Amino acid sequence: MTPIMRKKSALISVFHKDGLKPVVEQLYALNFDIYSTGGTEKFIKDLGIDVIPVEDLTSYPSILGGRVKTLHPKVFGGILSRRDNEKDLEQLDAYDIPQIDVVIVDLYPFEKTVESGASEQDIIEKIDIGGISLIRAAAKNFKDVLCVSAREQYDDFLKVLVAQKGEFTLEQRKIHAAKAFAISSHYDTAIYTFLNTTETNFRESFNTVNTLRYGENPHQKGYFYGDLNAMFDKLHGKELSYNNLLDVDAAVNLMGEFTNDKPTFAILKHNNACGLAQRDTLHQAYVDALAGDPQSAFGGVLISNKVIDEATAQEINKLFCEVVIAPNYDEEALKILKGKKNRIILIQKIFSLSEPNYRTALNGVLYQDRNLKTDSVSDLKMATILKPTEKQIDDLIFASKICKHTKSNTIVLAKNKQLCASGTGQTSRVDALNQAIVKAKFFNFDLQDAVMASDAFFPFPDCVEIAQQAGVNAVIQPGGSIKDQLSIDYCDANKMRMVFTGTRHFKH
């Protein structure tokens, strides 16, 4: 006797209906029973396709303004029943519950509702309950049920549906289950982030992943999790690498200190500024930034706070650089910069960086607030008898901004709104200062009347002594050492100016 073939069924209830039509039509062509509710039910009916309302299955209408539609044993029993479990099948027969083989459900757009600035009540209403429950149930029972949990999966699902005539392998169902739990966990994280004001649990989730050519080195795999398109328009060049992204991050953070200032140009290498200048024209700002260290600039990342014009582009084009970032580009400038096929050209959009910083450490994650403190004139405490002039204060604040974004231990030397040199990532502050002085002299900078910025206090007067002998006559530092007075005394005895900010800017 030939066994009776059970008719397959699908439950469809989605917020986003674009791309759904061919899927529904193919399910219908394969003789699936289709269950649906609400707007999706109407959508399917309007296609001229038979659809069974979920209300007919449950004998309950949609209630509480649509908050409760599918939360019923006749729905979840059909999804969660184990096809190889006789007792499950007996209960399905006893309660007249149909087996559901495919669940196509997406979630209310919670994150987009938050981003829109909607009221709290509107946001709360976009916390999906029925949808998330259906997704989790179908994904849990992947041995028997295939779950399509986002519209981005429609095309691939349709191809399999057509090719395999409504049959799915265990591996395919398991892959879809993993995707479903990725979506549900991301969704829950977004809700937690919105509601949380007191907990310190670490929760981060990214749906967008970019596969990089490799990691920090060619033998390492690399990925970027996040939406780069929200920050940049990429106009030209090869794909950004792992190291490019680290430098771009450093560049964006540094230039954020100068967003509304006069034309400012910076050149970065290995996350540190090797050149930075502020001038009346962007062309001159670039020329003077390059003069800070034309050797390190080779293969660097360039960033401007103004639209790059033709004259500046012509100068840039003489240099091999990996990335150029600006708010925009003149038409002719863009033509020039595109002359190098691999040069990455980015337009930086107006975008707020996330406030927390986190990184892996040992067997966990280090988490901290972003350093949003920028030293300003109002923060300065005059530590010495001689007070800095207005011009010196301008240079001191300029140097301090660079210092904040340079790897510790660091010393920054600047003059006339130009980075002369910096000592970066040294194990002692004296080493950082000596490195900066040697470098400045190598590139023919006159340090007479230059200023010095330090990311942390001086425990001894050796740094101000070395700096003064090199020509520096004004210093900005956090202060706070129990031996501050030794540095103050040396400055007073040698007619130097020194100000304290009260804020340390370590960067590791």
- Show which residues are catalytic: 140, 270
Starting from the edge strand earliest in sequence, which strands make up the sheet with 451-454, in order? 381-382, 497-500, 474-477, 451-454, 411-414, 419-423
Residues 6+ apart with CB under 8 A from 81: 88, 89, 91, 92, 97, 99, 141, 144
- AA identity, residue 347: I
Hunting for tokens 């910069």 — which residue is that? 337
b or e along 59-74 (b: 16 or more beta carbons within 10 Å of the residue's beta carbon)? eeebeeeeeebbebeb
Q: CA–CA separation, 40 vs 23, rounded Å?
A: 13
Supply 204's token pair.
């981060």
The CA distances from residue 124 to 15, 136, 204, 226, 500, in Å, are 16, 20, 20, 25, 48
The CA distances from residue 280 to 27, 277, 293, 306, in Å, are 66, 10, 21, 11
φ and ψ of 43, to 5 deg: -60, -45
User: In this structure, how many other beta carbons lie within 10 angstroms of the beta carbon of residue 480?
Assistant: 14
